[in-house]
């Protein structure tokens, strides 16, 4: 089947290849690159908990709130995409003009059967979010109960499982980004460093949570340098004397130094503002206002725009 083009009033035939190229060029010209600034959804779970409501009852509030605060990207986790919430969540993401360059998926990786389930679940989440711009899966391997450290054998299996997950995701067009909380910082960041040393840098990237490194007693700037070019996402939050602030502003952590380290490393990771509140965090403003202030500070310190 042929198509036609009009040049100087005359019709000329287009071959299939020319027509496909024209469509691709039009699509590329109309496509806008996603912002490198995003907001993490954990604070919305806390928002629901503080109002003593299930997550489903605040969905209609939180997505418009994120958009009014100036964000165009959001990082969701599996709670928002559970069977009973998935359809509503995705409809609200679309209705509010939001994109999802990344999605968060947890799960155990130090036990083989559990790791198989975790990998399958992560891939399913990524594929669900693909049409919303998802290219990255942020994954935090589950810790052992009661703060117990993983054995050498368990860490070996975890590294092997992360490699399998990274390859499986890459085969389907996604990137694995391993996230940290404080358990990975125990014993001089033993688990974090095991991941760096025993996984394939081609398939296993790093999502460095700067504040959780600091909360775990390690040097976030040093671990950023150590992870180097494997860092493709950063979670940003701040505190005062380790008490989380109500929004992302200056505090214990010097994010201008983080930016300097990024510049030295030559990396341009996705920056995800992740607000979180302790029970004794002093809240003086609405969540929407705190999101807006955090977004403005992130734009200033990281030199990125949310839109």
Contacts of 116 (CB under 8 A, 6+ apart): none
**190 CB neighbour count, 10 Å cutoff:** 15
User: What total of structural domains would you count in the chain?
Assistant: 1
Residue 88: exposure state from Cβ atoms within 10 A (0-12, 13-18, ≥19):
middle
pLDDT at 137 over 70: yes
* Residue 216 forms part of a structural domain: yes
- Measured distance CA(180)–CA(138) in Å, rounded: 10
CATH of the domain at 144: 3.20.20.150
In a domain, 17, yes or no: no
Q: Is residue 93 part of a domain?
A: yes
Distance CA(180)–CA(20), nearest Å, equals 44
pLDDT, residue 34, reads 84
Question: 22 pLDDT exceeds 90?
Answer: no
pLDDT tens digit sequence for 233-269: 999 999 999 999 999 999 999 999 999 999 999 999 9
Q: What is the DSSP letter of 224?
A: H
Tell me the residue ranges of DSSP E strands in 1-131.
Answer: 3-7, 10-14, 37-40, 74-77, 102-107
Give the confidence band of 35 by pLDDT, cuts at 50, 70, 90.
very high
The full 3-state SS of 107-136, as one line of letters, equals ECCCCHHHHHHHHHHHHHHHHHHHHHCCCE
Mean pLDDT of 205-209: 98
User: Is 225 a member of any domain?
Assistant: yes
Predicted TM-score of the model (pTM): 0.89
> In terms of Cα–Cα distance, which of 34, 43, 28 is closest to 76?
43
pLDDT for 180: 98
Going by C-beta distance under 8 Å and a sequence separation of 6 or more, which residues neighbour residue 45?
55, 79
Q: Compute φ and ψ for 172, nearest 5 degrees.
A: -110, 10
Parallel, antiparallel or unpaired: strands 239-240 and 243-244: antiparallel
- Is the pLDDT score of 16 beyond 70? no
Reported as a single tens digit per residue, the pLDDT across 42-101 is 999 999 999 999 999 999 999 999 999 999 999 999 999 999 999 999 999 999 999 999
Note whether 271 and 177 are within 8 A (CB).
Answer: no
In a domain, 143, yes or no: yes
First-last CA distance in the chain: 41
Angle at 222 between CA 217 and CA 224, to 5 degrees: 105
Domain housing 223: 34-302
CA distance 75 to 99: 9
84: its two tokens: 């009973």
Q: Which residue has the higher pLDDT, 20 or 269?
A: 269
Question: What CA–CA distance (Å, rounded) separates 304 from 87?
Answer: 31
Tokens of 238: 């701040």
- Residue 106 located in a structural domain: yes
288 assigned to some structural domain:
yes
Q: With beta carbons less than 8 A apart as the criterion, state whether 121 and 155 touch.
A: no
Examine residue 259 and state whether it is found in any structural domain, yes or no: yes
Please state, as a whole number, how many other Cβ atoms lie within 10 Å of the Cβ of residue 217: 12
Backbone angles phi, psi at 267, to 5 degrees: -115, 150
Q: Note the pLDDT of residue 117.
A: 98
**Res 32: pLDDT:** 60
- Once rounded to an integer, what is the mean pLDDT over residues 127-145? 97
Q: How far is 122 from 137, CA to CA, in rounded Å?
A: 7
């Amino acid at each position: 089947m042929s198509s036609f083009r009009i040049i100087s009033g005359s019709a000329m035939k287009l071959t299939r290849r020319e027509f496909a190229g024209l469509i691709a060029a039009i699509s590329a010209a109309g496509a806008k690159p996603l912002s490198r600034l995003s907001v993490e959804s954990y604070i919305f779970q806390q928002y629901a908990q503080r109002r003593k409501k299930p997550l489903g009852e605040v969905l209609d509030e939180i997505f418009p709130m994120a958009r009014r605060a100036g964000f165009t990207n959001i990082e969701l986790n599996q709670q928002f995409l559970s069977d009973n919430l998935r359809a509503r969540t995705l409809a609200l993401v679309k209705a509010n003009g939001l994109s999802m360059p990344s999605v968060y998926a947890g799960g155990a990786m130090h036990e083989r059967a559990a790791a198989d389930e975790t990998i399958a679940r992560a891939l399913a989440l990524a594929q669900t979010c693909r049409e919303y711009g998802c290219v990255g899966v942020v994954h935090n391997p589950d810790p052992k109960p009661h703060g117990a450290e993983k054995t050498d054998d368990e860490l070996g299996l975890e590294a092997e499982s992360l490699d399998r997950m990274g390859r499986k995701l890459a085969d389907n067009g996604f990137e694995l980004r391993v996230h940290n909380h404080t358990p990975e910082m125990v014993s001089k960041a033993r688990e974090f460093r095991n991941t760096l040393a025993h996984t394939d840098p081609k398939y296993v990237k790093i999502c460095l949570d700067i504040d959780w490194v600091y909360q775990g007693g390690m040097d976030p700037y040093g671990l950023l340098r150590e992870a180097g070019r494997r860092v493709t996402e950063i979670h940003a939050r701040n505190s005062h004397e380790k008490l989380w602030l109500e929004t992302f502003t200056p505090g214990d952590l010097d994010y201008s130094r983080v930016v300097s380290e990024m510049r030295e490393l030559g990396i341009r990771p996705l920056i995800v503002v992740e607000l979180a509140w302790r029970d004794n965090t002093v809240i003086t403003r609405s969540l929407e206002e705190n999101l807006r202030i955090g977004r403005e500070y992130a734009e200033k310190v990281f030199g990125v725009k949310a839109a």
